[in-house]
Amino acid sequence: MSDQPHCPGFEANKSLSEVKVKCPACGLEMEIFSDEIGKTIKCAACGVSFEAAPNQVT
Residues that bind Zn ion (CB under 5 A): 23, 25-26, 28, 43, 45-46, 48
CB of 53 to Zn ion, least distance (A): 14
End-to-end CA distance of the chain: 39
Least gap, CB of 28 to Zn ion (angstroms): 5
Q: Tell me if residue 7 falls in helix, strand or coil.
A: coil
Best CA proximity match to 36, nearest among 12, 11, 56, 17: 17
Smaller CB separation from Zn ion, 12 or 48: 48
Shortest reach from residue 19's CB to Zn ion, in Å: 17
